[in-house]
Amino acid sequence: MSDLGTFLAMGGYAGFVWPAYGVAFAALGGLAAYSWRRYRAGVVALERLQQQRGKRR
């Protein structure tokens, strides 16, 4: 437990090290999640359009 404690304390710099990793994770993860959701939405919209076109023929 104290091992985990010293790890989390980061030699007294916990207030700088963890936010730095947090910001990087939030920004890059957020962009990845947003890009993925937009990609899925695009795929679904395209499939629906292609189905409509198929029906009309």
Partner 1 sequence: MINWLANPARFMRLSATTLRWCSWAAVVVITVGLFWSLVVAPPDYQQGDTVRIMYVHVPAAWMALSIYLFMAVASAVALVWRHPLAEVAARAAAPVGATFTFVCLATGSLWGRPMWGAWWVWDARLTSVLVLFFLYLGYVALVNAFDDPSRGGRAGAVLALVGVVNLPIIKFSVDWWNTLHQPASVMRVDGPSIAISMLAPLLIMAVGFTLLFAVLLMLRMRTALNERKAMALRLNAGVAAPRQAEHEGAVSAHTAIS
> Which residues bind to partner 1, rule: CB under 8 A?
7, 10-13, 16-17, 19-21, 23-24, 27-28, 31-32, 35-36, 38-39, 42-43, 45-46, 49-50, 52-53, 56
Tell me the closest approach of the beta carbon of residue 40 to partner 1, in angstroms: 9
Tell me the closest approach of the beta carbon of residue 46 to partner 1, in angstroms: 5
Nearest Cα neighbor of 18 from 26, 10, 30 is 10
Tell me the closest approach of the beta carbon of residue 21 to partner 1, in angstroms: 6
Cβ(14)–Cβ(8) below 8 Å: yes
DSSP 11: G
Nearest Cα neighbor of 10 from 19, 29, 28 is 19
